[in-house]
Amino acid sequence: MAANMIGVKKNIIIVAIGPMDLVDAEPAYYEKQGPYETEEGCLSHTGTKKTTRYQTIEVAYTDPSGKKHTGTFTDFTAQVIQHEIDHLDGCRENTIISTLRDCFHHSCNEATA
């Protein structure tokens, strides 16, 4: 979940990884490898949409205690993190600033490429 999707104006995402939650403040990509095409759903719209994601990503982030980290994520976890970072970057299908068409045919996928 991206904080801005629930009305919190912070650059924070929370991703459940098994029994723990990964809380990332100010996440930023360092590296992306292995692009692939997939379809995703979202709580903010019905149906699915096609998008490009990366198999492996390296992300810099700050944990809740303020400590900086760099993490490498793969597979489904990497896909979820990319989806949530898209929301932080303004790809929010349920707001007036971005429609579903604008989000997925605009610069959001290009900005994360």
d(CA 62, CA 67): 5
Task: Give residue-wise pLDDT tens across range 61-74.
Answer: 988 899 999 999 99
The residues that are catalytic are 84
The residue among 32, 27, 38, 1 whose CA lies nearest residue 16 is 1
**Global pTM exceeds 0.85:** no
Give the whole-angstrom CA distance, residue 26 versus residue 5: 15
pLDDT digits over 80-113, tens only?
999 988 888 776 543 333 333 344 433 444 444 4
